Amino acid sequence: MPPVVPPFLIGLVVAPLAKRLLKPLLRGVVKTSVGIAMEVKKAAHEAGENIHDLAAEVAADMVAAQIATGDTGAGSGDGQHPDGNGAPGAAKDETAERARRASEEDPRAPKIRATAGVGKTS
């Protein structure tokens, strides 16, 4: 009959070996997991910035389209003011006046803001 080895003796011999093998393995798993989490966080941040930039560009295009449709009452399409002087301040004044009238009519209406140079800041 083979000799009987108590299980606790097997544990005493195997535990140091398991510690030497499992510690580097677990350290590598944790290090890789943290690295992946940091990359995902960075990618999500960049995606958020891209969406924000896209929203700002669309808002600027919409404001420009509103200003252009307000300025081309004669249907000339050249982007100049109807009186022919094409004063850049006149478009801002007209937009501000339109926003003021809209806020007086309905205080819940969104404000129209003329923004210049909206886009990427980097």
Each of the 122 residues of the chain gets a pLDDT tens digit; together they read 567 778 888 888 888 888 899 999 999 999 999 999 999 999 999 999 999 999 999 999 999 999 988 754 444 445 444 554 555 555 667 777 776 666 566 555 555 555 555 555 54
**Cβ distance 71 to 82 under 8 Å?**
yes
Find the farthest-apart pair of alpha carbons in the chain and give their distance in angstroms, rounded: 113
Distance separating alpha carbons of residues 91 and 9, to the nearest angstrom = 89
What does the pLDDT read at residue 71?
Answer: 57
**Burial zone of 71 (CB within 10 Å; 0-12 exposed, 13-18 middle, 19+ buried):** buried
Running DSSP on this structure, what letter comes out for residue 4? P
Running DSSP on this structure, what letter comes out for residue 3? P
Please state the pTM of the whole predicted model. Answer: 0.41
